[in-house]
Amino acid sequence: MPIFPGDPTPKFESVLNLERDNVNVSRITLGTHTGTHVDSQKHFITNGVGIEKESLSKFIGEAVVMDFSNKTRGDGITSYDLDNYSSLIVPNDIILLYTGTSDYWYDDYMDKVGKKFTYLDPSAAKWILSHKIKSIGIDTFSVEKYGSKEALTHKKLLGSGIGIIENLNSNLRQFVGRRVFLVCLPLALKELDGSPARAIIFDILD
């Protein structure tokens, strides 16, 4: 997986070894926003809640998977882009945004995509609020434009209690245009600004 510039470098070290110690045990060193992860309010909000207090019900439920792989990389998804999906969503839905930049994860992400990943324009954050979406997921580093100091999208979403899942992987592509059931579970890490999470999608059969 690619690492956001400035985030800690992940490390996975053997601590106990099956041949020597009769057991394999490892030490994981990982940033809170590395790989697929959930942001807590604390990521951008003063006195915001830590990840252990984010309600899991935001990250479990029906989700509409939207295809924005036709956007130019580096551009923001706007409220107008989301309007194309208005008829498909109902209040309390989750929306999952496939941008296609996750397709480069395993090879040459930093060459081909790097800081030019598709993000969520602040107008999209307003749209998400007004449509009563409970959380959003995206297959890029961040919902925010790279280098933004104001972090308007994060602040609008987190400040309004809307969940944010970032760095979903390219498995998302298989589900574009469909309504699915998402379960995404961050670790309950006390007072932290986010946590790596495993996300799974279930088919909804008609």
Query: Where on the chain is the footprint of its own copies (CB under 8 A)?
Result: 6-8, 12, 15-16, 18, 22-33, 35, 42-44, 46, 56, 60, 149, 151, 183, 185-190, 192-198, 200
> Residue 101: what residue type?
T
Nearer to its own copies, 37 or 71 (CB): 37
DSSP sequence for 95-138: EEEE-SGGGGTTTTHHHHTTT---EE-HHHHHHHHHTT--EEEE
Please, what is the minimum distance in Å from the beta carbon of residue 113 to its own copies? 20
Please, what is the minimum distance in Å from the beta carbon of residue 200 to its own copies? 6
Please, what is the minimum distance in Å from the beta carbon of residue 8 to its own copies? 4
Among residues 55, 93, 42, 101, which one has the least CA distance to residue 75?
101
What is the C-alpha separation between 115 and 73, in angstroms, rounded?
9
Nearer to its own copies, 115 or 132 (CB): 115
What is the C-alpha separation between 19 and 24, in angstroms, rounded?
9
Cα–Cα–Cα angle for 198, 203, 206, rounded to 5 degrees? 160
Nearer to its own copies, 188 or 204 (CB): 188
Please, what is the minimum distance in Å from the beta carbon of residue 192 to its own copies? 5
Instruction: State which H helix or E strand residue 111 sits in.
Output: helix 109-112
Nearer to its own copies, 108 or 150 (CB): 150
What is the C-alpha separation between 157 and 160, in angstroms, rounded?
5
Please, what is the minimum distance in Å from the beta carbon of residue 15 to its own copies? 6
Nearer to its own copies, 39 or 93 (CB): 39
Instruction: State which H helix or E strand residue 159 sits in.
Output: helix 152-159
The answer to whether 196 touches 34, Cβ cutoff 8 Å, is yes
Please, what is the minimum distance in Å from the beta carbon of residue 29 to its own copies? 5
Nearer to its own copies, 71 or 154 (CB): 154
146: left (phi over 0), alpha (psi -120 to 50) or beta: beta
